[in-house]
């Protein structure tokens, strides 16, 4: 089925009634002129399977994107991550001397591995579906065609822009300190960061992201005295590992709750013996109903808006774990995680600048998206060092699930927003 472009052209016409300077008008016109070619690139990269663990597929996407950046005057390098069992990252840089130093953040991998039945790009009128079309290959195309529009208008000259496209955002390599070292270093050298993860649109309104909650994994192991169930709660056996686990998780639920904080036990098992396979995210247990369980394991996550909230919650969790039922013990461990992208004044100022772009494009002002509606993202690694704003990518639905879609008429809108935001920050 050929895609209907009527609604795209109508929307482009509305955006031509802009209050823009002459260069900005050239940028907007270049977006409209480049839009048909952008769809061909979108289809090409979506049809390359780049599930995180398909290392060759991620590298193939990078091979497609590299010449696109090089044609715009970027110096491009590949950062291999073989030692972390991941493909690597693509880093593209322009060395200039004017305006803010910008960092553009994105990722090339998807959650759809080669074993997924969802593999192909399909157009249905103004909607297209395909693996990663919304999260976030559509965002990669928005980024590139915003830069192409700037280049066509002569507005890239002298700019200082770095783009870091990770190859393992959906399942990062460990340790994170190595997996995100190049991204963090780029953030420290920048004045502002724009992330091209999917935009958010609800009830006909677009939202920007000035805050994303961080993510920390935790693992809880409880132990007790095994024995015949007729002796449970007795002085010799005590309560067993599962009751201790239940006590702790109930106390978490009752004592930790506060705004912008969530904590979840995603995996749990208990019995005479237990085992945990982190690579397969699997916990198993063996026992009988008439035996007091000697072991229990739970694995979960903690999501918070500020680092202070993370540390405060971890302290409370440790205090809860330290109070044991008779005959039991417990150990709580925290894993590497994503830091929070806190709602700073600098981030709000970037949104203010974006809303001047929206005003001059005759678009509605964008409010900040509630942080509970976004998961952790790569921009969180640079947010502690640089003013940051997210949501410049595609507008779609159903991310991370078969049937994921992109709203094609919104792509030129996002391209113009991104291009003019970059232009104004680099003047």
Q: What is the CATH number of the domain that holds 418?
A: 3.40.630.10
Say yes or no: 325 and 348 in one domain.
no
Beta-strand ranges (E) seen in 12-167 are: 75-80, 88-94, 98-107, 122-124, 127-129, 159-166
By percentage, how much of the chain surpasses pLDDT 90?
A: 91
Burial of 64 (0-12, 13-18, 19+ CB in 10 A): middle
List the domain range (segments joined by +) for residue 67.
6-212+341-425
Conformation bin of residue 130: beta by default, left when phi > 0, alpha when psi is -120 to 50: left
- Quick one: 96 and 112 in the same domain? yes
Q: Is residue 319 located within the same domain as residue 386?
A: no
Asked if residue 186 and residue 161 are part of one domain, the reply reads yes
Whether 56 and 173 map to the same domain: the answer is: yes
Confidence of residue 398 (pLDDT cuts 50, 70, 90): very high
Q: Calculate mean pLDDT across residues 324-350.
A: 96
Kind and range of the H or E element at 224? strand 214-224
> Given this model, what pLDDT does residue 276 score?
85
Examine the domain organization and report whether 198 and 288 are in the same domain. no
Residue written as token pair 């417990």 = 330
What does the mean pLDDT of the chain come to?
94
What pLDDT does 227 receive? 95
Nearest to 51 by CA among 215, 171, 212: 171
Residues 299 and 218: beta-carbon distance below 8 Å: yes
| pLDDT at 70 exceeding the cut of 50 | yes
Average pLDDT of span 295-310: 96
Average pLDDT on 140-164 reads 98
pLDDT of 12 above 80: no
* Top-confidence residue, 38 or 284: 38
154 and 295 co-located in one domain: no
- Return the pLDDT at 336: 86
- Domain identity same for 95 and 148: yes
Q: What is the largest CA-CA distance in the chain?
A: 84
Last residue of a domain, one of 338, 370, 403: 338
Quote the number of domains for the chain: 2
Whole-number Å distance between alpha carbons of 3 and 18:
27
Q: Is the pLDDT of residue 56 over 50?
A: yes
> Binning pLDDT at 50, 70 and 90, where does residue 301 land?
very high
Q: Are residues 334 and 362 in the same domain?
A: no
Average pLDDT rounded to a whole number, residues 214-220: 95
pLDDT band, residue 309 (cuts 50/70/90): very high
Q: Does a structural domain hold residue 367?
A: yes
The predicted model gives 281-309 an average pLDDT of: 93
> Is the residue at 374 inside a domain?
yes
Residue 10 has pLDDT above 60, yes or no: no
Judge whether residue 272 has pLDDT over 60: yes
Note whether residue 1 is domain-resident.
Answer: no
Helix (H, G, I), strand (E, B) or coil at 259: coil
pLDDT score for 65:
98
Domain final residue, candidates 317, 338, 359: 338
CA distance 28 to 142: 13
Asked whether the predicted pLDDT for residue 14 surpasses 60, the reply is no
Q: Which of 255, 278, 257 is nearest to 267 (CA)?
A: 278
According to the model, what pLDDT value does residue 374 have?
83
* Same structural domain, 230 and 149: no
Predicted confidence (pLDDT) at residue 4 exceeds the cutoff of 70 = no
Residue 366 shares a structural domain with residue 329: no
Q: Is the pLDDT of residue 343 over 90?
A: yes
- Predicted pLDDT at 64: 98
Contact 427, 98 (CB under 8 A): yes
Report the pLDDT averaged over residues 115-143: 97
Q: How confident is the model at residue 18 (pLDDT cuts 50, 70, 90)?
A: low
pLDDT of residue 322: 98
- In which band, very low, low, confident or very high, does the pLDDT at 279 lie, cut at 50, 70 and 90? low
Which CATH number does the domain housing residue 287 bear? 3.30.70.360
What does the pLDDT look like over 156-180, one tens digit per residue? 999 999 999 999 999 999 999 999 9
Q: Which residue, 291, 320, 338, sits at the end of a domain?
A: 338
The answer on 200 and 163 residing in a single domain is yes
**Residue 186 and residue 193: Cα distance in Å, rounded?**
10
Mean local confidence (pLDDT), 233-248: 97
Q: Answer yes or no: is pLDDT of 205 > 80.
A: yes
C-beta separation of 292 from 229 below 8 A = yes
Chain center to CA of 417: 20
**Residue 203 pLDDT grade (very low, low, confident, very high; cuts 50, 70, 90):** very high
Q: What is the mean pLDDT of residues 393-401?
A: 95
Report residue 2's pLDDT band, with 50, 70 and 90 as the boundaries. very low
């Amino acid at each position: 089925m050929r895609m209907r472009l009527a609604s795209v052209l109508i929307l482009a016409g509305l955006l031509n009634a802009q209050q823009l300077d002459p260069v900005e008008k050239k940028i907007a016109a270049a977006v409209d002129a480049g839009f048909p070619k952008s769809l061909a690139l979108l289809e090409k990269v979506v049809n390359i399977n780049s599930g995180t663990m398909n290392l060759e597929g991620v590298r193939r996407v990078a091979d497609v994107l590299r010449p696109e950046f090089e044609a715009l005057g970027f110096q491009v390098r590949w950062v291999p991550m073989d030692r972390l069992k991941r493909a690597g990252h693509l880093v593209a840089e322009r060395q200039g001397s004017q305006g803010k130093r910008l960092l553009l953040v994105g990722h090339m991998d998807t959650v759809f591995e080669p074993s997924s039945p969802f593999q192909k790009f399909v157009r249905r009128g103004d909607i297209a579906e395909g693996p990663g079309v919304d999260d976030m290959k559509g965002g990669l195309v928005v980024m590139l065609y915003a830069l192409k529009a700037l280049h066509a208008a002569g507005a890239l000259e002298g700019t200082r822009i770095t783009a870091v496209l990770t190859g393992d955002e959906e399942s990062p390599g460990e340790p994170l300190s190595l997996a995100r070292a190049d991204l963090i270093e780029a953030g420290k050298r920048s004045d502002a960061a724009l992330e091209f993860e999917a935009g958010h649109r609800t009830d006909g309104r677009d939202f920007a992201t000035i805050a994303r909650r961080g993510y920390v994994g935790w693992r809880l192991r409880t132990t007790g005295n095994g024995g015949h169930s007729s002796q449970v709660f007795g002085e010799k056996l005590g309560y067993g590992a599962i009751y201790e686990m239940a006590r702790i998780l109930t106390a978490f639920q009752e004592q930790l709750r506060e705004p912008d904080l969530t904590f979840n036990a995603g995996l749990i098992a208990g019995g005479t013996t237990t085992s945990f396979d982190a690579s397969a995210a699997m916990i198993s247990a063996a026992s009988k109903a008439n035996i007091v369980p000697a072991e229990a394991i739970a694995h979960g996550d903690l999501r918070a808006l500020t680092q202070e909230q993370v540390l405060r919650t971890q302290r409370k969790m440790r205090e809860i774990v330290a109070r044991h039922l008779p005959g039991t013990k417990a150990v709580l461990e925290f894993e590497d995680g994503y830091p929070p992208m806190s709602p700073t004044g600098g981030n709000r100022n970037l949104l203010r600048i974006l809303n001047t772009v929206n005003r001059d494009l005759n678009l509605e002002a964008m409010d900040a998206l509630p942080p509970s509606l976004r998961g952790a993202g790569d921009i969180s690694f640079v947010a502690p060092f640089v003013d940051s704003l997210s949501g410049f990518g595609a507008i779609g639905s159903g991310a991370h699930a078969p049937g994921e879609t992109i709203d094609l008429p919104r792509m030129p809108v996002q391209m113009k927003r991104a291009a003019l935001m970059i232009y104004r920050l680099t003047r």
